[in-house]
Amino acid sequence: MEMMALSLLNDFLYCPRRAGLKGIDGYRSANEHTVIGTLAHEHADLPGYEMVRGVKLLRGLPVWSERLGLSGKADIVERHPDGALCPVEYKKGKRRQFDNDDAQLCAQALCLEEMFKMRVERGAIFHATSKRRREVEFDVALRQLTEEAIGRMRQTIERGEISPAGFKPACKECSLYSICLPEVAVEPGAWQRKAQALFEV
């Protein structure tokens, strides 16, 4: 089974078209949001470990799952004194809950479970702007959502199917906005007008 980037799962649940443009066509682009996100990860992504109040923090830990065909990197994995593992994902912005973030974190937990042959019960998302941590329990519902989304993502990418564009206000904040052009794609006749405008003096 071909390995897919674990981070692509977050894209897929946020916008299947974005995941397709990245996972199938290989598009990458940066904007202020991706730069802020990179800065938020800067310290967490440095490989290595440290001890904080008896908890070992493993930074930039590579994770993978042969069963799910996923590979990626966990920002931080906490190893507690009792041996329990807890993945921690860094996100820009204020503390708030998104299914795509929780599923990405849960996918990391599924990788850790396969790698270390142990149950990972919970993780956390650290929101850089508010400097607040949100605990995430890997319950049955979240595990099911995550595995189903991984299956749909794999099917979509293996088939080379890029979802049709749909426009919503959040599209303008996407780093692939100028590549996707959702407003042009959904408006009847917009492509023709844009193409014609290229040759107008």
Domain extents in the chain:
4-163, 165-201
The CATH code of the domain at 4-163 is 3.90.320.10
pLDDT at 195: 56
- Rounded Cα gap, residues 32 and 40, in angstroms: 12
When pLDDT is cut at 50, 70 and 90, the band that residue 37 belongs to is very low
Question: What is each CA distance from 59 to 1, 42, 51, 86, 114, in whole angstroms?
Answer: 27, 11, 11, 12, 19
Q: Which two tokens stand for residue 57?
A: 């923090």
Q: What is the pTM of this model?
A: 0.81
Distance CA 177, CA 131 (A): 28
pLDDT digits (tens, 9 = 90+) for 153-176: 999 999 998 888 788 888 888 888
Collapsing DSSP to helix, strand or coil, 46 comes out as coil
> Per-residue pLDDT tens for 70-111?
999 999 999 999 999 999 999 876 656 678 999 999 999 999
Note the pLDDT of residue 103. Answer: 96
H helices of 42-200, where?
Answer: 99-116, 140-159, 177-180, 182-186, 190-197
